[in-house]
Amino acid sequence: MPQYRIGQVADVLGVSADTVRRWVDAGKLPAERTAGGQRLIDGAELARFVSSPSHEIEGLRVQSTRNHLTGIVTRVARDGVAAQVELQAGPFRMVSLMTREAADDLGLEPGMLAVASVKSTSVMIELPSTP
């Protein structure tokens, strides 16, 4: 399973490294220390953290460059022909439907970094509800 440094997690989630350190120090995000003292976060634990509905991840911001959103794979559901892949990119949950063959070729599993490329011919804008 992949492991990520504090800075990598911060980049993926669009937060500062200090924010990730605070999450680790508070026990919200488990991390292991290397012999050199560097903290590493297991990819599967990161996937659980960002997809957990039990808490809101404070301080997340969107980082998008030309409709490419880097995030962490939180779920891969495969059947005989298709695969549904969920990706948490900052505060956004992205869902992609693709062939099982494509998901297998990419080796997609929860905890991996991936990039969602978004192309849309139709975008709807709504106003948020007011309290």
Q: 3-51: what fold?
A: Multidrug-efflux Transporter Regulator; Chain: A; Domain 2 (1.10.1660)
Domain boundaries, the chain: 3-51, 68-117
CATH node for 68-117: 2.40.50.100
For residues 68-80, average pLDDT = 91
Mean residue pLDDT of the chain comes to 84
How much of the chain exceeds pLDDT 70, in percent?
Answer: 81
Query: How many other CB atoms are there within 10 angstroms of residue 43's CB atom?
Result: 20
| Pair of tokens at residue 60 | 């997340």
The type of residue at 86 is E
Residue with the two structure tokens 């460059």: 65
Q: What is the structure's pLDDT at 79?
A: 95
For residues 32-59, average pLDDT = 80
Is residue 52 scored above 60 in pLDDT? yes
| Pair of tokens at residue 64 | 């998008």
- Rounded to whole angstroms, the Cα distance separating 30 from 86 reads 22
Q: What is the structure's pLDDT at 61?
A: 44
Which of 68-78 are b and which e, b meaning 16 or more Cβ less than 10 Å from the residue's Cβ?
ebbbbbbbbee
pTM over 0.85: no
Span 9-36, pLDDT tens digits: 988 888 889 989 999 999 989 999 999 9
Name the pLDDT band for 63 (thresholds 50, 70, 90).
very low
Name the pLDDT band for 70 (thresholds 50, 70, 90).
confident
Residue 93 burial by CB count (10 A; 0-12/13-18/19+): exposed, middle or buried?
Answer: middle
φ, ψ (nearest 5 deg) of residue 101 = -60, -40
Q: What is the structure's pLDDT at 14?
A: 81
Name the pLDDT band for 41 (thresholds 50, 70, 90).
very high
